[in-house]
């Protein structure tokens, strides 16, 4: 199973989550500006993560997902989404927006979007978030394999 975890990261927090999830899936974590459409087409499972920037995914993440609009992934790819966010009611929900975009272009969403918590704008991750990412990666692995 070819799994790719695509992420954008400003302060390293989202990257840590992406790498943790990728390890659980025996996949590869790739920065959003280093992924090609061919890489996506070759993948069986695509996980996309972004920090919240202005109540939505980062500009690079949005641009990447927009560039896939002309593709038809219906019935071909499984996917999931996550974000890193400060635990405030007003922080926004990038993961859900990513999930909705993936669904629109035909990806099968295998589990609901997942938030991971940072303790401030630049982080660090909350103490239990690497463990939470490990558990989420294990859940994804079960969903993919079933």
pLDDT of residue 110: 96
∠ Cα 77 82 83 (to 5°)? 145
Kindly report the CATH number assigned to the domain that includes residue 138. Answer: 3.40.50.360
pLDDT of residue 120: 87
Segment 61-74, tens digit of pLDDT: 999 999 998 787 87
> Can you tell me the distance from the alpha carbon of 72 to that of 37, in angstroms, rounded to the nearest whole number?
12
Segment 120-140, tens digit of pLDDT: 888 999 999 999 999 999 999
Q: Hey, which residues does 51 pair with through a beta bridge?
A: 84
**69 — phi, psi (to 5°)?**
-55, -35
Length, in residues, of the chain: 146
pLDDT of residue 76: 77
Q: State the total domains in the chain.
A: 1
Q: Give the domain extent around 18.
A: 3-145
> pTM of whole model > 0.85?
yes
* DSSP H stretches of helix in 50-107: 59-67, 94-104
pLDDT of residue 90: 62
Segment 1-43, tens digit of pLDDT: 899 999 999 999 999 999 999 999 999 999 999 999 889 989 9
Segment 46-95, tens digit of pLDDT: 999 999 987 789 999 999 999 998 787 877 789 999 999 998 766 678 99
């Amino acid at each position: 199973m070819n799994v790719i975890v695509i992420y954008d990261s400003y302060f390293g927090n989202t990257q840590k989550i992406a790498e943790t999830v990728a390890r659980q899936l025996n996949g590869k974590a790739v920065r959003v500006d280093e992924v090609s459409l061919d890489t996506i087409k070759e993948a069986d499972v695509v996980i996309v993560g972004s920090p919240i920037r202005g109540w939505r995914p980062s500009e690079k993440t949005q641009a990447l997902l927009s560039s896939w609009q002309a593709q038809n992934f219906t019935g071909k790819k499984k996917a999931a989404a996550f974000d890193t966010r400060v635990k405030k009611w007003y922080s926004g929900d990038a993961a859900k927006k990513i999930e909705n975009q993936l669904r629109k272009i035909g990806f099968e969403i295998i589990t609901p979007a997942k938030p991971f918590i940072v303790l401030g704008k630049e982080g660090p991750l909350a103490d239990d978030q690497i463990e939470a990412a490990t558990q989420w990666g294990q859940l994804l692995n079960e969903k993919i394999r079933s």
